[in-house]
Amino acid sequence: MSFNEYKDTISEGDIVLAWMTRTSTKPLVVTKDATFNTRYGHFPHDKMVGLPLGTQMASSSKAGFLHLLAPTPELWTMSLPHRTQIVYTPDSSYIVQRLRIRPGSRVLEAGTGSGSFTHAMSRTVGKTGQVFTYEFHEHRYKEALGEIRDHQLSNVTITHRDVCKNGFRLDPAAPEGEGRLDASAVFLDLPSPWLAIPNLKSVVSRERSTAICCFSPCIEQVTRTVEALKKEGWQHIEMVEVSAKKWEGHKEMVRSIDDAMERLRDVKRRRLSGLKKRNERIEKEKRGESAEDSAATADDETDAAEKSANTTENEASSAQNVKTKGFNPWGKGLRIKEGAEGYEWRDVSRVESEIKSHTSYLTFAVLPPPIPENLVDAQGNVLSSM
């Protein structure tokens, strides 16, 4: 099953993504007689065959479930095996837009790594486009090559090469001017992108402008990259950092001032009542009441408290245990489910509790096409079009 095509039902041999939680998604190849074992239960692959993609599948014991989803670059980014730092969706979507990648585009990528961004670009360029990706590390190259074949990314060509030393031409032995890739977009995810930038002019398009993005985690890398871009004639240089935050919807209990004042008055009444009972008990002891009477009274109070506790425990089997007494308009001490009836709620939004930190700096630039020879004089001056 290709990442770039969609089908309605699951067949044997298909790649599906098992969604268990927002932070746990596992890729599966549907195989005869195989079983996917998780803490949520056992899920036989044979029962997946024929199910519509997007189905909520119950485990064999019916104790848990998962969702069977069609593979997409976004879901693959969440579940892929990490061989290197990857480009996450907030960055990749912005990069695709800034590089103006669209169906039919020809794109260069140096630093395939885990293949996260490769999948995103493959989907965007479509059947009429082409992605040329390079990886210098042999083991990572072989792993990425296997994934590209398994995922049927027919519009991706991967090459094992160090582009900083050997350039981007697919056939380095070809005469100068031949084998041009005519790329209109370039993405460099390299430790030293400034070493690869001088090798780009021989492979990018000469008919239109070319956009580039350099993905660098350190500001020192950005500085050297900008210097190399300026030296090679790239223009409109800009550095961007994408900080993505998710805003989550919640219900918040409404607490009025009147309820707060009544709560304070109730606390004061109960405190004064307790002090009054304590003072009365002290006065009785001062009047010479016997210790036996006090002990008997204490025993009676203990028995009454035990009976009350037993009654409360029986009621707690169907209701939550009340830890506070008196006026309690907000359920203090209770386990109140968000949005529960009997309380007043309002809709609010909050930023996610765990905000993802810095990933990398994105350095963008544009290389204009060369000026046609018939518009330049012998001294290199541009001739007037008038």
Among the listed ranges 17-31, 214-228, 278-292, which one has the minimum average pLDDT value?
Answer: 278-292
pLDDT given at position 253 = 79
Residue 132 phi/psi, 5-degree rounding, is -110, 110
The identity of residue 300, as a single letter, is D
Q: How confident is the model at residue 356 (pLDDT cuts 50, 70, 90)?
A: low
- C-alpha to C-alpha distance for 154 and 53, rounded to whole angstroms: 23
Residues marked as binding? 135, 162, 189
Arithmetic mean of pLDDT, 169-174? 72
How far from chain centre, in Å, is Cα 20? 15
Whether residue 322 has pLDDT greater than 50:
no
Whether residue 176 has pLDDT greater than 80:
no
Q: How confident is the model at residue 349 (pLDDT cuts 50, 70, 90)?
A: confident
- C-alpha to C-alpha distance for 91 and 35, rounded to whole angstroms: 35
More confident residue, 339 or 73: 73
Q: Token pair of 157, please?
A: 């060509």
**CB 3, CB 116: distance < 8 Å:** no
Among the listed ranges 191-200, 327-336, 343-352, 358-367, which one has the minimum average pLDDT value?
Answer: 327-336
Q: How confident is the model at residue 150 (pLDDT cuts 50, 70, 90)?
A: very high
More confident residue, 60 or 338: 60
Q: How confident is the model at residue 212 (pLDDT cuts 50, 70, 90)?
A: very high
Q: Which CATH superfamily is domain 76-245+358-375 in?
A: Vaccinia Virus protein VP39 (3.40.50.150)
pLDDT given at position 296 = 53
Per-domain residue ranges of the chain: 9-71, 76-245+358-375
Would 9-71 and 76-245+358-375 be classified into the same CATH topology? Answer: no
Torsion of CA 229, 234, 235, 238, to 10 degrees: -40
pLDDT given at position 352 = 76
More confident residue, 206 or 230: 230
**CB 55, CB 49: distance < 8 Å:** no
Residue 31's Cβ-count burial label (10 Å; 0-12, 13-18, 19+) is middle
Q: Token pair of 144, please?
A: 């990425």
The identity of residue 126, as a single letter, is G
Residue 288 phi/psi, 5-degree rounding, is 90, 25
> Which CATH number is associated with domain 9-71?
3.10.330.20
Residue closest to 105 by CA, chosen among 79, 132, 80: 132
Torsion of CA 206, 209, 213, 214, to 10 degrees: 50
By DSSP bridging, strand 130-135 and strand 156-160 are: parallel
Whether residue 329 has pLDDT greater than 90:
no
- The DSSP symbol for 14 reads -
Tens of pLDDT, residue by residue over 85-95, are 899 999 999 99
Arithmetic mean of pLDDT, 264-289? 81
Residues marked as binding for S-adenosyl-L-methionine? 135, 162, 189
Residue closest to 163 by CA, chosen among 132, 199, 202: 199
